[in-house]
Homo-oligomer: A and B are copies of this chain.
């Protein structure tokens, strides 16, 4: 039985894990190490050195190395917040702007170095059964975002601006139109083209095509 001081399974998905500021500072250092050098660059000794804390504190706070990694994922996920939709007062133009802004925010998060590093980390640990990290990233990252997207799209359908049967299916199409293969290419170490870095334009064209498929 490997027990960890930080057990995500006992905390509600939307409840912040409530790290102390000191712990958050350490986790920020851990994230920096991950972004710079990948998982093997994040050693307990190295983190203790760069964060000016002791290994003993790390193990006291996070249980073991896996708990530390899970804490980094949860910590970073807690910092990503998609703005809630303004409400039902929006007309067609502002709704479409909301959708475009959502897509741009999605791409901004997804293509950020922190997100890429954590996705790489979770993916490389997604082989063993009882895979905490992958599930953690899915439930605290993707599922949150997709729930947010579904409510946004359903609002558009309710106003007669969009037409689809399954909100999840519609969201997946929007995701595919916006992300294409860029995410996997970035994860593999490729660099985005100049056009792909213009997230405003990318979001606009994706939403344009989405409307041609699902506009009312």
Residues on A lying within 8 angstroms of B by beta carbon are 37-39, 41, 117, 119-120, 122-128, 131, 134-135, 137-138, 142, 172-173, 175-181, 183-185, 187-190, 209, 212-213
Contacts and interface: CB of A to CB of B under 8 A. Distances in A.
A8 B138 CA distance: 35
SS of A interface (majority): helix
A177 B177 contact: yes
B177 A179 contact: no
Contacts of A179: 176, 181
Nearest to A186: B126
Contact of A123 (B120, B172, B177, B180): B120
In the complex, the count of this chain's copies comes to 2
Nearest to A37: B127
Given A124-B123, A209-B173, A212-B212, A185 B142 contact: yes
B39 A124 contact: yes
Contacts of A39: 124, 127
B126 A188 contact: yes
Contact of A172 (B131, B135, B180, B187): B180
